[in-house]
Amino acid sequence: MTLPWQSSLINFKNSALNLFLKPNCPLCDRPSGDVFCKYCERQLTESQLLDAARYWQGDLPLFAWGKYEGAVKRSIGKLKYDGNRAIGNIYGEWLAASWQKSLPQANITNLIAMPIPLHPDKLTSRGFNQAELIASSFCRATGAKLDLSLQRTRPTVAQFGLSKLARQENVADAFALDRASVKSSDLVLLIDDIYTTGATVRSAALALRALDLHVYGVAVVATGRDDR
């Protein structure tokens, strides 16, 4: 028979153990029951675009969950450079939720989600492709088909700090399709973590369209476009 004081002690120990075992928030290092603590998650959602489909127009429509600023910018850095893969998973879920709410007509059976690939050397160094994590989570939530046939055929330098022209030259002819897994009737949605000038996704779209594939648009976690 367990005495009342013993039950209280057991509950206290369990509570302390659960607190100790909780992962820390990657942004503030507070204990968190989820990927981010509630404080940092609130900061992240403050950068969410109210109209995520505002750029869904033109020859390469863009869908963005939020703005590339503040906590969002830091969290993507934690994903890419600190290896916190859970961030990619939750961003894929958030992107999917926003996609389904903003573009219900885009939830179609022949939608193919194709993450922007890393060069094999960078993939080996990093250990994972953040765009693939986001795309995988996006597909689980939306039912879109994940396709990894897009390949980066040559190494490129980081786009950060390059001029618009230098960015275009950096990724020109950098993509190719590894195998014929996508049909002409499919609608390809390119997925990446961030969008700034669009040089990378445009180069990828050009390679796909050269094979007569239908590039439906681009979906990203965050955009650096400065028009709200």
Q: Name the residue with higher pLDDT: 93 or 173.
A: 93
- The Cα 156–Cα 166 span in angstroms is 11
∠ CA 151-154-157, nearest 5°, is: 110
CB burial class (10 A; 0-12, 13-18, 19+) of residue 26? buried
Contacts of 65 (CB under 8 A, 6+ apart): 48, 49, 52, 91, 94, 95, 98, 220, 221, 222
Most confident of 1-5, 173-177, 191-195: 191-195
Residue 201 contacts residue 45 (beta carbons within 8 Å)? no
pLDDT at 205: 94
User: Quick one: pLDDT band at residue 16, thresholds 50, 70, 90?
Assistant: very low
pLDDT at 40: 96
User: Quick one: pLDDT band at residue 109, thresholds 50, 70, 90?
Assistant: confident
pLDDT at 152: 87
Average pLDDT rounded to a whole number, residues 27-41 = 92
Average pLDDT rounded to a whole number, residues 1-7 = 48
